Amino acid sequence: MNDKPDLNSMIGAEPARSGLGVEALKRDIVDNLICLQARYPEIATPHDWYMALAYTVRDRMMTRRVATTHTYVARDAKVACYLSAEFLIGPQLGNNLINLGIESSTRAALDALGLDLDALLAIEEEPGLGNGGLGRLAACYLDSLSTLEIPAIGYGIRYEFGIFDQEIREGWQVEVTDKWLQKGNPWEIQRPDVAFYVKLGGHTESETDVQGRYRVRWVPAYTVKGVACDTPITGYRVNTCNTLRLWKSEAVESFDLQDFNAGDYYEAVHEKVQSETLSKVLYPNDEPEAGKRLRLAQQYFFVSCSLQDMLRLLALKGEPIARLPDMFTAQMNDTHPSIAVAELMRLLIDERQVPWDAAWDITRRTLAYTNHTLLPEALETWGLPLFQSLLPRLLDIIYEINSRFLDEVRRRFPGDDARLARMSLIDEHGARRVRMANLATIGSHAVNGVAALHSKLLEETVLRDFAQMWPERFHNVTNGVTPRRFLMLGNPGLAALLDETLGDAWRTDLGKLRALDQYADDVAFQDRWRGVKQDNKQTLAAQIRNATGIIVDSSALFDIQVKRIHEYKRQHLNALYIVTLYQRLRRDPELALTPRCFVFGGKAAPGYAMAKLIIRLINGIAEVVNDDPVVKGRLKVVFFPDFNVKNAHFIYPAADLSEQISTAGKEASGTGNMKFMMNGALTIGTLDGANVEIREEAGDDNFFLFGLSADEVERVKGDGYRPASFVDGNQELHEALEMIGSGHFSRGDRDVFRPLVENLLHADPFLVLADYAEYVARQHDVSAAWQDPRRWTRMSILNTAYSGKFSSDRAIREYCEQIWKIAPVKIAL
Ligand code: 26Q
């Protein structure tokens, strides 16, 4: 544009805060060190430099941020709002450098200042605002939304304490508070002017207004204020910079104690304290007693703030309320935000006087729901007394939605009382509860599962009645992961080799990796491929040594299972295999055994005793096996502590083998499986979640399949699963269980692992022993394939080559086309 002043020639340098050259970066880093950190170079700590650098990068994002908002408003663009209780975004600095394309100039600028970029990258605290897959998926989707230039806002909660840090003491998990905000967060922009009030508790009163209309007034026990805290989200080499808007709760000072009698006074003070703690801490999943009042309050709090913000933005655009579904779509990430169905109705009816039918039409056309689990114990429900006391007005509305909905069901399926009972928003078996999955489904125009198998099972089981009633509302969108973070940032060696071989178009069009298949048998290329993997394994080996003191040989097969610890994910099946190998070595010390390094990582929910025991078992096995002279270093077992996004960066690229061994039908999708595949790991896995599609893409020959299918699992359970029958015929399994029970891995204590062994032998809903034999057999095939490095490398190359489908860019395109009806908007600077 030649009508703009040429700032460069005017001031003889690149403009402050936006210049992307080495000189500008260097100058602004020092500027920020002085102006924002109040430090001068000679006394600055590495953390000061990190902050100065982060602010320098953030400055470069702000012009993009402003241009992005401006363009969306000017174009009347429809915006995708992703509602999620979790966003596990990981460290921001490296990712933003890549997206802005200034990694090498920044490295050079730091070099000139005598600083090392990698050292500064290592300083960043990651925001642990999620438990695992679901939270990380939301973060990958934000990355893709910006990269694909889709107008989008992520809405969630600014937890002061994210997921706990995990330490391992005496083999046990110990939870340590995550204090990620202690040293300040340079990426966050607080917006005290963007704040909303949220009512909680109290009761409702009805009245007839002057126009003779029935009105309900919610008289809350207390009110909480939600303040917006924004994190800018860059796209890869585009100008789009969207927003992740997280709500922080604050107490409202002026709540009126006069309203309360003496008895309620203490309650009111208590509730005030509660309101300040609303956004304090992230709840771990898999907690047996997760039905906490505070959790429901958190969900309602962030949903209400987000919907109020959408309505504010709609008004700002000068649009009438009826246009909400044309200007915004709100995707509910699991049922955690599903109170949105009732809250949007409340905002429309109580606060904007929209009639019920119009409000319902707007609500349904605005909302959509993604389900992430089939496990009955993980389906969210809330007891009526709790719901009533915290959200009285919303319960009224839920009753009304339910009554109208059940009338519709009765018309469609006359006389089918069993169906009515199953579909009702209220579960009447035992103490009555609100069913959030039913609420989310009824209040949405689209419902989707997260992998083909999962979506199919969803329609056949958990949401069957709904799929029969509204088949057109059901979709599948198979999950995806961002190649920017999990390939380019985590595996720069491989990224460079791919660029050199294919050009760099794969970075935003991962399908282009397919062309790699021509090189699968190319010996020179294979050698380079192996070289990259070898370097990555050495990096991981160094990190392992650092974190655990264990020394591993990077020429061994790196066999990795990282994910939350859960019985359905069956880390203990993997452990049983290790014990089996160990026993083979003890029986026959000269056995020609493929050297393997087993790496585990993942957190267990603090209240999930069996998951914590599995961690103890892995560490017990490591303690014995790693130092036993009979093993001669051929087996190493590592529990890598505190698995998180930051260390995931170097774990996935170092894997030869990816363990995806959940009981078929239990893992909705899995996303770690995709990160491993992209980085050239082969998978050993069951036909579960996205493994099915991974195998389809990779080809049967390049995937190690074992185990019962989802149908077979159900059949075995229907017939009455008898674990003992699998032990009777299997000497190795028998001995492995014996050894664990004997105290061999617990310093002689026979009690420690008893609950685990007893469970496997007598209860185990996840059929570990039923799949053991085939798992061991397939692991044997893995070892055989490893013996032939050319064959292995070929399979590794093909896995990366065929991983294109699992880019989150593909997934986001599908959401845009099938569900959101949103198109990209280009941002010019
Ligand atoms: C619910 C109520 C109270 C407290 C906590 C929770 C809670 C929090 C987080 C329940 C579940 C979660 C997280 C679930 C999750 O991560 N699910 C995973 O989602 C991935 C993305 O779709 C899938 O790939 C995984 O298969 C699925 O397990």
Helix (H) or strand (E) holding 120: helix 117-123
Amino acid at 217: R
Measured in Å, residue 371 CA sits from the centre of ligand 1 at 9
Q: Is 761 helix (H, G, I), strand (E, B) or coil?
A: helix
Residue 726 main-chain phi, psi, to 5 deg: -85, -20
Q: How many CB atoms lie within 10 A of CB 568?
A: 17
What is the CA(566)–ligand 1 centre distance, in A?
A: 12
Residue 717 lies in a domain: yes
Number of independent structural domains in the chain: 3
Q: Residue 29: which residues within 8 A CB-CB, separation 6 or more?
A: 49, 52, 53, 56, 109, 110, 113
Tell me: do 465 and 577 sit in the same domain. Answer: no
Q: Which of 338, 373, 375 to mutate to test the pocket of ligand 1 (most atoms within 8 A of CB)?
A: 373
| Distance from residue 567's CA to the centre of ligand 1 (Å) | 15
- Counting from 1 in the atom list of ligand 1, the atom nearest the Cα of 450 is 22
How much distance in Å is there from the Cα of 244 to the middle of ligand 1?
20
Query: How would residue 109 be classed by pLDDT, with cut points 50, 70 and 90?
Result: very high
Is 186 within 8 Å of 33 (Cβ atoms)? no
Q: Work out whether strand 596-601 and strand 557-562 pair parallel, antiparallel, or are unpaired.
A: parallel
Phi/psi of residue 421, nearest 5 degrees: -65, -40
Domain-terminating residue out of 477, 511, 540:
477
Instruction: State the average pLDDT over residues 485-501.
Output: 98
Q: In terms of domains, do 368 and 460 share one?
A: yes
When pLDDT is cut at 50, 70 and 90, the band that residue 286 belongs to is confident
Ligand 1 centroid to residue 372 C-alpha, Å = 6
Task: Tell me what pLDDT residue 267 has.
Answer: 65
Cα distance between residue 487 and residue 108, in whole Å: 23
In sequence order, which residues have a C-beta less than 8 Å from that of residue 420 and are 6 or more positions away?
A: 406, 409, 410, 413
Whether 801 has a pLDDT exceeding 80, the answer reads yes
The sheet carrying 426-427 orders its strands as: 381-383, 433-435, 426-427
From 372, 377, 387, mutation site for ligand 1 pocket: most ligand atoms within 8 A of C-beta: 372
Q: What are the φ and ψ backbone dihedral angles of 553, each rounded to 5 degrees?
A: -95, 120
Ligand 1 pocket residue status of 283, Cβ below 6 Å: yes
Which residue has the CA at smallest separation from atom 8 of ligand 1?
285
User: What's the pLDDT at 246?
Assistant: 98
Tokens 């053991």 sit at which residue?
772
Smallest CA separation from ligand 1 atom 6, residue? 285
Please choose, from the candidates 304, 313, 377, the residue with its C-alpha nearest in 3D space to the C-alpha of residue 338.
304
Q: What is the mean pLDDT of residues 557-561?
A: 98
Looking at per-residue pLDDT, the higher value among 48 and 285 belongs to 48
**CA–CA separation, 78 and 312 (whole Å):** 15
Nearest CA to ligand 1 atom 15: 134
Q: State which ligand 1 atom lies nearest to the alpha carbon of 689.
A: 26
Which residues have CB under 8 Å from 760's CB, separation 6+?
A: 572, 723, 737, 768, 769
**Confidence at residue 213, expressed as pLDDT on a 0 to 100 scale:** 85
Task: Provide the percentage of residues in the chain whose pLDDT is more than 90.
Answer: 92
Question: What is the best residue among 87, 137, 282, 285 to mutate for testing ligand 1's pocket, by most ligand atoms within 8 Å of CB?
Answer: 285
Rg (C-alpha) for the chain, rounded Å, is 28
Q: Give the pLDDT mean for 733-754.
A: 98
Residue of higher predicted confidence among 275 and 483: 483
Q: Where are the beta strands (DSSP E) in 238-366?
A: 241-251, 328-333
pLDDT digits (tens, 9 = 90+) for 571-607: 999 999 999 999 999 999 999 999 999 999 999 999 9
746 and 719 housed in the same domain: yes
* Atom number, ligand 1, closest to the C-alpha of residue 378: 10
Q: How far is the CA of 607 from the centre of ligand 1 (A)?
A: 16
Task: Based on the fold, state whether residues 147 and 25 are members of the same structural domain.
Answer: no
Would you say residue 526 lies in a domain? no
Which pLDDT value is given to residue 1? 40
Burial class (CB in 10 A: 0-12, 13-18, 19+), 660: buried
Band of the pLDDT at 271, cuts 50, 70, 90?
A: low
The mean pLDDT value of the chain amounts to: 95
Q: Give the Cα separation of 657 and 655 in Å (integer).
A: 5
* Ligand 1 closest atom vs CA 454: 26
Instruction: Report whether residue 670 contacts ligand 1, using a CB cutoff of 6 Å.
Output: yes
Query: Given the CA of residue 671, which atom of ligand 1 is nearest to it?
Result: 24
Residue with the bigger pLDDT between 772 and 276: it is: 772
The count of other CB atoms within 10 Å of the CB of residue 503 is: 11
Is the domain of 35 the same as that of 148? no
Residue type, 708: L
Domain carrying residue 62: 17-75+92-125
Q: Which atom of ligand 1 is nearest to the CA of 136?
A: 21
- Could you report the per-residue pLDDT of 338-357, keeping only the tens digit for each? 999 999 999 999 999 999 99
Residue of the nearest CA to atom 7 in ligand 1? 285
**Using CA positions, which residue lies closest to atom 1 of ligand 1?**
285
Amino acid at 740: I
pLDDT in the model for residue 262 = 53
**What per-residue confidence (pLDDT) applies to 7?**
47
Is residue 177 a part of any domain in this protein?
yes
Q: 434: part of which helix (H) or strand (E)?
A: strand 433-435
524 within a domain of the structure (yes/no): no
Q: Six-digit token pair at 424?
A: 């009702």
Q: How far is CA 152 from the centre of its chain?
A: 18
Q: CA of 777: how far to CAs of 163, 205, 706, in Å?
A: 37, 67, 8
For residue 261, the model assigns a pLDDT of 54
Does 319 share its domain with 445?
yes
- The enclosing H or E element of 166 equals strand 165-169
Same domain as 195, residue 115: no
Residue 433 and residue 427 in contact, taking contact as beta carbons nearer than 8 Å = yes
CB crowding 749-763: b at 16 or more within 10 Å, else e:
eeebbeebbebbbee
**CA-proximal residue: ligand 1, atom 13 (nearest):** 134
Q: What is the mean pLDDT of residues 438-463?
A: 98
Q: According to the 3-state scheme, what is the secondary structure of 353-377?
A: CCCHHHHHHHHHHHEEEECCCCCHH
Convert the pLDDT of each residue in 41-72 to its tens digit.
Answer: 999 999 999 999 999 999 999 999 999 999 99
- Residues acting as catalytic residues: 372, 563-564, 569, 671, 675
Residue owning tokens 């207004």: 209
- CATH number of the domain where residue 159 is located: 3.40.50.2000
- Cα dist from 550 to 530, 597, 668, 776, whole Å: 24, 11, 34, 26
Choice from 82, 83, 134 to test ligand 1 binding pocket (greatest atom count within 8 A of CB): 134
Query: How crowded is residue 356: how many other Cβ atoms within 10 Å of its Cβ?
Result: 14
513 in any annotated domain: no
Is residue 9 pLDDT above 60, yes or no? no
Q: Judge whether 462 and 468 are in contact, CB under 8 Å.
A: no
Same domain, 81 and 199: yes
Would you say the CB of residue 136 lies under 6 angstroms from ligand 1? no
Q: Which residue has the higher pLDDT, 253 or 166?
A: 166
Residue 137 Cβ inside 6 Å of ligand 1? The answer reads yes
Element (H, E) at 648: helix 645-651
Least confident range from 297-306, 324-333, 372-381, 399-408: namely: 372-381
Find tokens 């174009």 and name the residue: 75
pLDDT exceeds cutoff 90 at 211: no
In terms of DSSP bridges, do strands 79-83 and 152-157 run parallel, antiparallel, or are they unpaired? Answer: parallel
575 and 721 share one domain: yes
Tell me the C-alpha to C-alpha distance, in Å, between residue 53 and each of 15, 95, 563: 17, 13, 32
Total residue count of the chain as it appears in this document: 829
Assess if residue 503 is contained within a domain.
no
Summarize pLDDT for 416-435 with one digit per residue, the tens.
999 999 999 999 999 999 99
pLDDT of residue 255: 52
DSSP secondary structure letter of residue 131: S
Reported as a single tens digit per residue, the pLDDT across 501-558 is: 999 999 999 999 999 999 999 999 999 999 999 999 999 999 999 999 999 999 999 9
Q: Quick one: which atom of ligand 1 is closest to the CA of 479? A: 22
Q: Are residues 107 and 149 in the same domain?
A: no
Whether residue 164 sits in one domain with residue 101: no
Distance 441 CA to ligand 1 centre (A): 17
- Predicted local distance difference test score (pLDDT) of residue 254: 58
Scored b (16 or more CB within 10 A) or e, 478-492 reads bbbbbbbbbbbbbbb
Give the residue among 773, 791, 785, 678 at the shortest CA–CA distance from 734.
Answer: 773
Query: Which residue's alpha carbon is at the smallest distance from atom 17 of ligand 1?
Result: 134
Between CA 764 and CA 559 the distance in angstroms is: 25
Answer yes or no: are the C-beta atoms of 247 and 266 closer than 8 Å. no
Question: Which 8-state DSSP code applies to residue 481?
Answer: B
Q: Is residue 406 part of a domain?
A: yes
pLDDT of residue 288 exceeding 70, the answer is no
pLDDT confidence tier of residue 287, bands split at 50, 70 and 90: confident
Query: 7 is written with which tokens?
Result: 């700032």
> What local confidence, expressed as pLDDT, does residue 767 receive?
98
pLDDT level of residue 116 (50, 70, 90 thresholds): very high
133 alpha carbon – ligand 1 mean position (Å): 6
Q: Is 457 in the pocket of ligand 1 (CB under 6 A)?
A: no
Does residue 658 sit in the same domain as residue 642? Answer: yes
Taking residues 21-38, what's their average pLDDT? Answer: 96
Q: How far is the CA of 422 from the centre of ligand 1 (A)?
A: 23
**Residue nearest ligand 1's atom 21 by CA:** 134
Distance CA(645)–CA(631), nearest Å, equals 33
Q: Under a CB-based contact definition with an 8 Å cutoff, are residues 552 and 636 in contact? A: yes
